Amino acid sequence: MAGFPRIWRLCSHVSSLFGIVAVLAAAPAQATTLRAVLNSGLRALDPVVNTSVVTNVHAMMIYDQLLGQDAKGEIRPQMASWATSPDGKTYRFTLREGLRFHDGSPVTSEDCIASIKRWGQVDTMGQVLMKMLAGMRAIDEREFELSLTQANDLILEALAKTGSRPAVIMPRRLAETPPSQAVAENVGSGPFRMVMPEFRPGVRAVYVRNTDYVPRREPLDGSAGGKQALVERVEFVAMPDQMTALNALVNGEVDFLESVPYDLLPMLDGNRAVKIDVLNKEGNWTMFRMNFLHPPFDNRLLRQAAMLSVRQQDVLNALVGDPKYYRTCPAVFGCGLPYESQYGSDFVVSGNLAKAKALLKDAGYQGAPVVILQPSDNPFASSQPLVIAQALRRTGFNVQVQTMDWQSLTARRANDGPPAGGGWSIFVTFSALGDQSDPIRSLFVAAAGKKSWFGWPDVPEIEELRTKFALASDKSERRSIAGQINKLAIDEGLVAPLGQYVYPSAYSGKLSDVPAYPRPVFWNIKKAD
Amino acid sequence: MAFYILRRILAIVPTCLAVAVIVFAILRLTPGDPATVLAGDMATPEQLAQIRAALGVDQPIHLQFVFWIGRLLQGDLGISLISQVPVTQLILDRSGPTLALAISTIVSSVVVAVPLGVAAARFRHSWLDRGLMGFSVLGFSVPVFLKGYLLVLLFAVGLRWLPVQGYTAPADSMAGFATALVLPTIALSLSYIALIARITRSSVLEIIREDYIRTARAKGVGERLVLFRHALRNAAVPILTVIGIGIATLISGVVVTESVFNLPGLGRLVVESVLARDYPVVQGLILVFAMVCILINLMVDLLYCVFDPRISY
C-alpha cells in the first residue's frame, strides 16, 4: 500500500506534463482563424472542370461572380450591374469600381468575356446561353455587351447561378485554358485569397482575407450584397472520419462541420458550446434511374411498375431516419422551388403495390433480371438500392443487387450494354436540389437518347419542350413548360424521385452570423476571441 | 557478405519492375474513371470523354504503360490526375506523419514488449505472465479504430490532455508534434506490443531450457545478465523476424490509424487515391511500399548475422 501514493504522484506529474505540452501545442492557434471540416477534402481547384461541392465552396472563397441571387431567388448586381436594351436582346454590363484580381491586376471586360466563354462551353445553362448568343464585345475596360439572337432573360439566371459550375470570373490569361483542363493558377477577385504554399491536396486548404476586396454596400443576401471577410484566415481541414471530426469540434480544435451524420447528432445533445443548424435549407434530393436501352426497362409499363413499387417513406427512413430532416416529394424539379409540381403525388410518393403487380402482368414480364448497382462506400446512395430491391422483389421482379464502390458504379453506369453483359438496370443518385431546379440545369430530364445522361432515354417531345423552355421569355410560360416536362418525365419513367432531405451543420458557439446558404460559405461570419 | 548485399540490392530492380507491371495491370482492370471524379456526377458522356482525352487515360493501355515506364526510368512518378501535383511531391509531403508514426510505434513497441516478454518468460505462470497473455489476447482482438476511439474519448474529449486529431510538423512545433503522436502511437502499438511480447516470451522460454544457460547460471552469472545477454541474444532471430513483418504490416495499420486520428500520411493517401482512381499516385505509392518492404527484409536478414554469428551469407 505504501507504493500507491508514489504511483499516484507519478501519475499526477505525468498528467501535469501532458497538460503543459498540450497548452504549448495549442499556443499558435489564432482567434481569427476559422477551421472548417467539409464533407470531403479539396483536391481539384477549377470550378469549371470539377462540379463537386467542395470545389464549389473553394470557388466561392476566391472567385466572384458578375451577378448574385438573393434569398428569394431575385437576380441582383454583384461584380457588375446591367442594363437591357428596349428589345430585350442586348445586355450591357458595367463592372463596379475597384475590382482587382489577387495578382493585383484590375478586373476588365476582356477577363469577363473570356471567363464566360470558357464556362459556356461546359455548363448546361451556359451551353444554352451560347446557342442564343449573337456576340460578346468589350466596350471599354469596365463595360461589355452580350447580344442575343432573341429576347431572353435566362442569361441573368445563368450568370448568377451558384450551384455546380458557377460562372466565376478569372483573369483572361487563365480563362483561355480549354475547359477540359484545369487552370494553372487559382487567381480570383473574391473576398479570400488562397495560400498556395500551404495547400495540401486532400488534407488542407488555407485562405486569407483579401485586403484589397471592396464589398458591395448592401447587406449580404444569398450571393447578392456585400461579401465580407471578417476572419483573417480560413482553413479547410479534411477529416475522413466523421466521429473524429465531431470530437474535434467538441474539443474546440475545429469550428465548423459542414454536416453531422444523423446517427451522431445525439452526441451533441446538451452541448451548449456547439450550435446545430440546417444551413442548406434547399437540401438534396435522391432518385433512381432506369436503363431505357435494355429489358426489362426498355418497356414503359415496367418502368412505371418499378416506380409504383417503391414508397418514398421507406427509402427516406433508411437513408435519413429522422422525419425532421426529410420530406417526400413527387416533383422532378424539387419541392419548395419555383418549378414544383405535385403531379403523381398519389403514386410516386406512396407507391401502389396492387397497380404495380397489375402492370407487371399487363407488360408480360418474363423474369428478365433487374441489376441494381449498390455503392457500399457512399453513405448518400448506399441504402436506397437495398430498399428498392426489396420493393421490386415484392412486386415480382427478378432482382440482383451488385455491390461495388462509387467509382466502380460511375464506370459501370457508362456501360450501355445489356445488364448480363456488364451493363445495369437501375442505379441511385443524389444531388443538390438547386442543381436540378429547372429543365435546363437538370441533366436527368435530358432525353436525347445516347447523347443524354446515363440511362439514355429517348423522348423527343421532352427535348422539344426543353428548347421551348430555354427560349421562353416569360416566367409563367416557363412554369407551364416545366410542368409539362415534369409530367412526361414521370410518365415515361425518366426520373423516379425518392424524396428530398436536409442535413444539419454544426459549428462552434464562438461563430456568429453564419449564413444560411445551399453550400458552406464563409462570408460575413464572425468569430469571437 | 558484400556480394550478398549487392545482389540483394540489385534484386530490387526486377522486383520493382514486376510490382510496377502487376500494379499497373490490376489498376487498369479495376472499374472506375478518374474523369468522373474530376468532372463530378453531373458530367455528360461527352464532357467525360474530353476530360479522359486531356488526362491521357483514353489511350490504349499498352501506350499508357510505355509512357509511364518511360517516365519512371527517369525517376519521374508522374502527376496526380486529380490534384495535378507531381506524385513525388505528394508522397514526400505525406510521408512525414507516416514515418513519424511508424518509427514511434516500432520503437515504443520494442522498448515495451521485449522486456515484458523476457519478464514473462522469467516469471512463467506468475501474475505478470498471465496478465501479459491476457493483454496479448486483448491487443490482438480489439481493432485499432476502437482502441483509437476509446483513447480519444478518455484522453482528448474527457481529460483534454491531448488533441483529438491532426499533425504538427516538428519544424512548426516540437510540442505539437509530440502531443499529436501520443494517442495514435498507443493505439497502433498495442497490437505490436502484444505480438512482440508473446514471441519474445516463447523464444526466451525455449532458450532458457538450453544447457549453456544452465551452465551460465551454474557459473554464478547474474540472472539479469543470463536473460538479456545469453537468452535474449539467442532468442533474437524469431523476434527480429516478427519485428520485420510487423514493420511491413504496419502499412495496413497506418491506414486506419491515420483516418481515426486525421494524420495526413501515406495510408490516407493510398485510400483516397484508390477511391479516386488516381492511377499515377497509386502506382507510385505501391512502388515506394514495395521498396520499403524489400529494404526492411534486407536489413532484418543482415541483423540476423549481428545477433547470431553462426549465420552467414
Question: For B142-165, what is each residue's pLDDT tens digit?
Answer: 999 999 999 999 999 999 999 999
The count of CB pairs under 8 A between chains A and B is: 171
CB atoms within 10 A of CB A300: 14
Q: Give the closest-approach CA distance of B34 to chain A in angstroms.
A: 8
Q: Are strands A426-432 and A369-375 parallel, antiparallel or unpaired?
A: parallel
Q: Is B29 exposed, middle or buried (0-12, 13-18, 19+ CB in 10 A)?
A: exposed
Determine whether the interchain pair A377/B42 forms a contact, defined as Cβ–Cβ distance below 8 Å. no
Of residues B5 and A361, more confidence is placed in: A361
Q: A 403-462 residues with CB below 8 A of B?
A: 404-408, 410-412, 414, 429, 431, 435, 443, 450-454
Of residues A94 and B256, more confidence is placed in: A94
Tell me the three-class secondary structure of A214-262, residue by residue. Answer: CCCCCCCECCECCCCCCCCEEEEECCCCHHHHHHHHHCCCCCEECCCCH
Residue A44 in contact with partner chain B when CB distance is under 8 A: yes
Q: B 132-171 residues with CB below 8 A of A?
A: 149, 152-153, 155-157, 159-166, 168
Indicate the length of chain A as a whole number: 529
Which H or E run contains A38? none
Q: What is the pLDDT of residue A24?
A: 42
Q: What is the pLDDT of residue B308?
A: 79
Determine whether the interchain pair A18/B179 forms a contact, defined as Cβ–Cβ distance below 8 Å. yes
Q: Which residues of B touch A450 (CB under 8 A)?
A: 45
| CA A434/CA A125 separation, integer angstroms | 13
DSSP 3-state of A527 = strand
| CA B146/CA B260 separation, integer angstroms | 9
DSSP 3-state of A193 = strand
Residue in the structure block whose three cell numbers are 512545433: B173
Residue B38 in contact with partner chain A when CB distance is under 8 A: yes
Tell me the ipTM for this assembly.
0.83
| CA A123/CA A102 separation, integer angstroms | 25
For residue B115, pLDDT over 70 is answered with: yes
User: CB–CB of A333/A486 below 8 Å?
Assistant: yes
Q: Give the closest-approach CA distance of A190 to chain B in angstroms.
A: 22
User: CB–CB of B290/B23 below 8 Å?
Assistant: no
CA A276 centroid distance within chain: 21
Positive/negative CA dihedral, A170, A171, A172, A173: negative
CB atoms within 10 A of CB B67: 13
Q: What is the pLDDT of residue A16?
A: 45
User: CB–CB of A241/A39 below 8 Å?
Assistant: no
Average of per-residue pLDDT across B106-131? 93
Q: Give the closest-approach CA distance of A50 to chain B in angstroms.
A: 4
| CA A32/CA A233 separation, integer angstroms | 6
Of residues A483 and B59, more confidence is placed in: A483
Which H or E run contains B289? helix B279-307
| CA A347/CA A305 separation, integer angstroms | 10
- Which segments in chain A show pLDDT lower than 70? 1-31
Q: Give the closest-approach CA distance of B60 to chain A in angstroms.
A: 17
| CA B238/CA A472 separation, integer angstroms | 80
Q: A 277-336 residues with CB below 8 A of B?
A: none
| CA A212/CA A215 separation, integer angstroms | 10
Average of per-residue pLDDT across B94-99? 94
CB atoms within 10 A of CB B256: 20
| CA A41/CA A38 separation, integer angstroms | 7
Q: Find the CB nearest A248 among B94, B164, B275.
A: B164
User: By percentage, how much of chain B surpasses pLDDT 70?
Assistant: 100
Q: Find the CB nearest B82 among A21, A43, A181.
A: A43
Determine whether the interchain pair B262/A241 forms a contact, defined as Cβ–Cβ distance below 8 Å. yes
Q: What is the pLDDT of residue A31?
A: 52
Report the candidate in A515, A18, A448, A361 with the shortest Cα–Cα distance to residue B46.
A448
Q: A 124-183 residues with CB below 8 A of B?
A: 164, 178-182
User: CB–CB of A258/A37 below 8 Å?
Assistant: yes
Kindly state the DSSP code that residue A417 receives in the 8-state scheme: S
Return phi, psi of residue A72, to 5°: -90, 0
User: CB–CB of B202/B210 below 8 Å?
Assistant: no
DSSP 3-state of A521 = coil
Q: Which residues of B touch A52 (CB under 8 A)?
A: 40
Q: Find the CB nearest B42 among A21, A51, A452.
A: A51
| CA B284/CA B290 separation, integer angstroms | 10
Determine whether the interchain pair A25/B172 forms a contact, defined as Cβ–Cβ distance below 8 Å. no
Determine whether the interchain pair A52/B94 forms a contact, defined as Cβ–Cβ distance below 8 Å. no
Q: What is the pLDDT of residue B266?
A: 94
Q: Give the closest-approach CA distance of A444 to chain B in angstroms.
A: 9
| CA A116/CA A122 separation, integer angstroms | 10
Q: Residue B248: left if φ>0, alpha if ψ -120 to 50, beta else—which one?
A: alpha
Q: Are strands A369-375 and A398-404 parallel, antiparallel or unpaired?
A: parallel
| CA B54/CA B214 separation, integer angstroms | 73
Determine whether the interchain pair B85/A201 forms a contact, defined as Cβ–Cβ distance below 8 Å. yes
Alpha-helical segments (H) within A312-383: 312-319, 353-362
CB atoms within 10 A of CB B48: 19
Rounded to the nearest 10 degrees, what angle do helices B174-207 and B236-260 cross at?
150
Q: Find the CB nearest B43 among A22, A51, A241.
A: A51
Determine whether the interchain pair A411/B262 forms a contact, defined as Cβ–Cβ distance below 8 Å. no
DSSP 3-state of A77 = strand
The answer, yes or no, to whether the previous bond of B45 is cis (omega within 30 of 0) is no
For B81, name the nearest residue in chain A, comparing CA atoms only: A44
Determine whether the interchain pair B44/A404 forms a contact, defined as Cβ–Cβ distance below 8 Å. no
Q: Which residues of B touch A405 (CB under 8 A)?
A: 32, 275
Return phi, psi of residue A448, to 5°: -105, 40
| CA A332/CA A412 separation, integer angstroms | 25
Q: What is the pLDDT of residue B209?
A: 87
